[in-house]
Amino acid sequence: MKLYLNDLGLLCAAGNDKDEVLANLLAGERSGLIFTDRFSPGRAVAVGRVETELPEIGDDFRYHRSRNNRLLLAGLAQIRGTVERIIARFGQERIGCVLGTSTSGVRSTELALARQAENGILPGDFHYKQQQMGAGADFLAAYLNLGGPAYTLSTACSSSGRAIASARRLIRLGLCDAVVVGGADTLCNLTINGFMALESLSAGLCKPFGLHRDGINIGEAVSLFILSREPGPVELLGIGSTSDAYHFSAPDPDGLAVGQAMHLALRDAGKRPEQIDYLNLHGTATVLNDSMESKAVNALFGATVPCSSSKGMTGHTLGAAAALELGFCWLLLNSNDDTGGLIPSINGDATDSKLAELNLVRQGALLHRRINICQSNSFAFGGNNISIVAGRA
């Protein structure tokens, strides 16, 4: 059964719509990473924030009011026409909603508790539903009046990739004809200070695969697809997932399970490594992740496949990262660019020569033909790994 990614809505530090995001990625633009101490009082850190006015949530859904859900609503607005067409085609009862996130609306709780500390009571507009892990899927399903399964997966930084795998399964099992699928995560004190406690935050702008890399920048984003049997511009070709459970937060330094995830995705897609035109790396800019991933990619692809980490322009968007970076691949595959412009690996640093050799994309690099097949990697705490292959339909 062929399945297609019919449309895409996304916002991140690289831009607020498809055209803006692609243009900024190809240009290596990283001005969306800003320094602030809003989430870490006393210490300014670089974050990737969505800087645009987000849609308001009306009174009918007042218990769903959170920045995370407003971000989802902004992403939905970009694909609303396709959603309505799919609803007309299949009916609301046959459409599901599966999302990935790591923090959902926790920021709403942080702000509410701060108000309680000042005034002694929680704000009247606060509801626990705003921070529930499943809040986003509940909100979108109710907002669109969908009757299919609606749920959220949270496996840290592979969450929205797992959501895509789960959405595919719903359609293959005949439980849905289409699924609104993707992920959203928003900036909050919890994640910034949590990664600070792990000493995983960069002191400046992150440097994926850089000689002086010292940690991540955290970002926020939404990326929403319509996955269905209806022919569309991009085909979902293959998914590979593994779990090595090597350590709670550190990756297996040999990257064997990561390599297996990439191999399984290729096998599922019926493709050989040399057929991949571009690989979006997980590339967090931590010392251990980049070392492990470079070994795994080199072992499977050698130093031939053009690859890059886009996190140097967006920050690491955690539970939204897998869907966001697959979205970047979707933009390349949906482009009419006959020169094959590639997303560069931007780090403001020399590449670490001690890493296994990779064909990291330089700014302005071209494939010199249309990009036809892309692969995207996402790895998470606990060794939860996923790799996805998509192609021009």
Q: How far apart are alpha carbons 2 and 236 in whole angstroms? A: 8
Q: Are 63 and 127 in contact (CB under 8 A)?
A: yes
Cα–Cα–Cα angle for 36, 37, 39, nearest 5°?
110
**157 in active site:** yes
Chain-centre distance for alpha carbon 202: 20
Cβ distance 147 to 87 under 8 Å? no
Let me know if 316 is a catalytic residue: yes
Which of 97, 188, 316, 374 is labelled catalytic? 316
Pair 305, 276: CB distance under 8 Å: yes
> Which has the closest alpha carbon to 239: 393, 386, 99, 379?
386
H or E element in which residue 25 lies = helix 18-26
* First-residue to last-residue Cα distance in the chain: 14
Instruction: Choose, from 12, 97, 157, 374, the residue flagged as catalytic.
Output: 157
β-pairing, 359-360 vs 306-308, is parallel
Q: Are 96 and 55 in contact (CB under 8 A)?
A: no
Catalytic option among 64, 188, 282, 374: 282
- Quote the CA–CA distance of 267 and 303 in Å, as a whole number: 20
Known catalytic residues are 157, 282, 316
